[in-house]
Structure 1
Amino acid sequence: MTGPVAATLAMALGFVAVHVFVGRLTFLDVVPRSRWLSFAGGVAVGYVFLHIMPELGAHAAAFSAGTGYATPVAEAAVYTLALAGLVLFYGAERAIIVSRGMRRAKEGRDRPERGMFRLHIGASALLIFVIAYLLNHREDATVPGLALYFVAMALHFITADYGVRCHHPELYDRQGRWILAAATLAGWGAGVAVALPQVAIGGLFAFIGGAIVLVVLKEELPEERKSYFLPFVGGAVLYAILAAGELYLVA
């Protein structure tokens, strides 16, 4: 196994650990919302805007070259995929919230219907598969670049998995975490075995960018979350400092 592949496997196993053990992070289960979750959300959003969004410009150029479309059309197509990621996960989240409210009203149980668990885990597994696939297909394959990707995505998974587990605690602990762990390893394996064209890689980056923004903001914005602004900003600022440090090292 080559060095970079071994490194990305170690990162994938780190992601697996988050999925499997997030339920044991008892310090997250507090009211008001844990400051650590707000901090993790800030880091993930910082990654989207300081890494994924700038990279979309490069991928739009590759899309233009690969398809022959004019640059404005190529850019619009790439950002449409980011919008699609946001809309898809917004739709899934709304369906789960509606189902939870209807079941609470009818049965007095504060849980979504079982079918909503499959929808939630399926959407999460799709996103996780893509993120793990991209471990081996980063535009910035340097050690600092991979490290920043790993840290940002691991913190994003803490936020996202915590949100899934809040909706389906028993099902997540019994089944969901293992499905997400399997999706991680499958995505990493696919990344090693299959190299997609740069046009497709750009589309995947755009898709996860939109999805991550939605997942983080839906965890931070609702009033009942009682989330924290300063830790969120702190996470974003810290990530910005780390990203600036990476640029300095590369330069």
Structure 2
Amino acid sequence: MLWLSFALVIGLVLLHVFSKRMTFLKTVPRSRLLSAAGGISVAYVFLHLLPELGVFQENLRGEIENSGWSFLESHIYVVAMIGLILFYGLEQMVKSSKRRHKGHRPDEPRDGVFWVHIGSFTLYNALIGYLLVREEYESEWGMVLFFIAMGVHFITNDKGLRETHKEDYDKYGRWLLAAAILIGWGIGVIAEVSELAISILTALLAGGVILNVLKEELPEERESSFGSFCMGVVGYSVILLLI
């Protein structure tokens, strides 16, 4: 499935590169497609990523009993919560920076916050690229479903990052995020990270996805479509359960 994973990685890269041209992302009320995309991402987290953490926890039981990571034997979901907290902290840092510099360009955070924010999403994307080739999928359909969930999630993230960082995101950010996916995939092709590391990174990813989806869906000014969000959750859940 190496060639399929490469084709799907290129698809994710193109989503970042051409997201600027997706005019439906700029509409208010919020595009129904974006709300459905949020639902798809949530369904994937709760029906695939979180259950997978349970499998990781079982596999790790006893293997790390005497190590500093022994708490993961029964608390790997704590790491997912930490992932959510980390991304929430980053969002608050960006908002704080914008408030401090209201006298300058209020639409652009300063103090290097842009690079910290984009750097975190660069690692986030690299992990997704790695998992696309190293995840133990039951079939090619499993890989395609991962691609769909992360693809629509990227579209939502791109919109939020572009609104926050404006020209800086289009000039630097989207290219860094696109490159990170390829780099993560390349690392997955030539090397295999330990199961412990993957379990931690997957947990952080799950927390990050949950926070980023809720961040885009919950604010009142987004005027999100609850119906479309539910359709995304239910429709994608049915597909996951059938496959």
TM-score, normalisation: structure 1: 0.91
Partner of 1:174: 171
In structure 2, the partner of 1:93 is 91
Amino acid at match of 2:83: G
- Higher share of residues assigned helix: 1
**CA–CA distance in structure 2, aligned partners of residues 171 and 28 of structure 1:** 18
Q: Does structure 2 retain, via aligned residues, the 8 Å contact 1:8–1:135?
A: yes
Q: Which amino acid aligns with 2:88?
A: Y
Q: Aligned letter for 1:82?
A: A
SS at match of 2:20: helix
SS in 2 for 1:66: coil
Confirm or deny: 8 A CA contact 1:85 1:207 kept in the other structure: yes
Give the structure 2 partner of residue 212 of structure 1.
209
Structure 2 Cα separation of the partners of residues 65 and 144 of structure 1: 33
Q: Which residue of 2 aligns with 1:127?
A: 124
Structure 1 unaligned regions, length at least 5: 247-251
Deviations 1:127-175 (A, max 9, x none): 0011111112213241111111010000000001111011112111111
Q: Specify the alignment match of 1:113 in structure 2.
A: 110
TM-superposed deviation, 1:108: 5.5
User: 1:146 is matched with which residue: 140, 143, 158?
Assistant: 143
> Equivalent of 2:53, from 32, 56, 63?
56
Aligned Cα root-mean-square deviation (Å): 1.6
User: How far, CA to CA, are the matches of 1:139 and 1:6 in structure 2?
Assistant: 15
1:76 Cα deviation (Å)? 3.7
Residue 204 of structure 1 deviates from its aligned partner by 1.6
What is the distance in 2 between the residues matched to 1:52 and 1:181? 22
Q: Distance in 1 between the 2:117 and 2:17 partners?
A: 17
The answer to whether 1:186 aligns with 2:159 is no
SS of alignment partner, residue 208 of structure 1: helix
C-alpha contact (below 8 Å) 1:137/1:191 kept by paired residues: yes
Contact 1:103–1:112, Cα closer than 8 Å, also in 2: yes
Measured in 2, the distance between the counterparts of 1:178 and 1:62 equals: 37
Code of the aligned partner of 1:55: E
Contact 1:219–1:225 under 8 Å retained in 2 = yes
Structure 2: how far apart are the matches of 1:61 and 1:207? Answer: 18
Provide structure 2 residue ranges, at least 5 long, that are not aligned to the other structure. Answer: none
Q: Secondary structure at the match of 2:214?
A: helix
Indicate whether 1:103 and 2:101 are aligned.
Answer: yes
CA distance in 2, matches of 1:115, 1:243: 40
Which AA in structure 2 matches 1:81? V
SS in 2 for 1:107: coil
State the percentage of identical aligned residues: 44
Cα separation, 2, equivalents of 1:27 and 1:235 = 17
Q: Is the 8 A contact 2:127 2:201 kept in 1?
A: yes
Matched letter for residue 229 of structure 2: F
Whether the 8 Å contact between 2:57 and 2:72 is mirrored in structure 1 is yes
Distance 1:185 1:163 in 2: 22
2:107, 2:165 within 8 Å by CA — same for their partners in 1?
A: no
Contact 1:164 1:172 in 2 (8 A): yes
| Bigger mean CA offset, 36-45 vs 75-84 | 75-84
Whole-Å separation in 2 of the counterparts to 1:18 and 1:65: 41
2:184 is the alignment partner of 1:203: no
Give the aligned partner of residue 227 of structure 1.
224
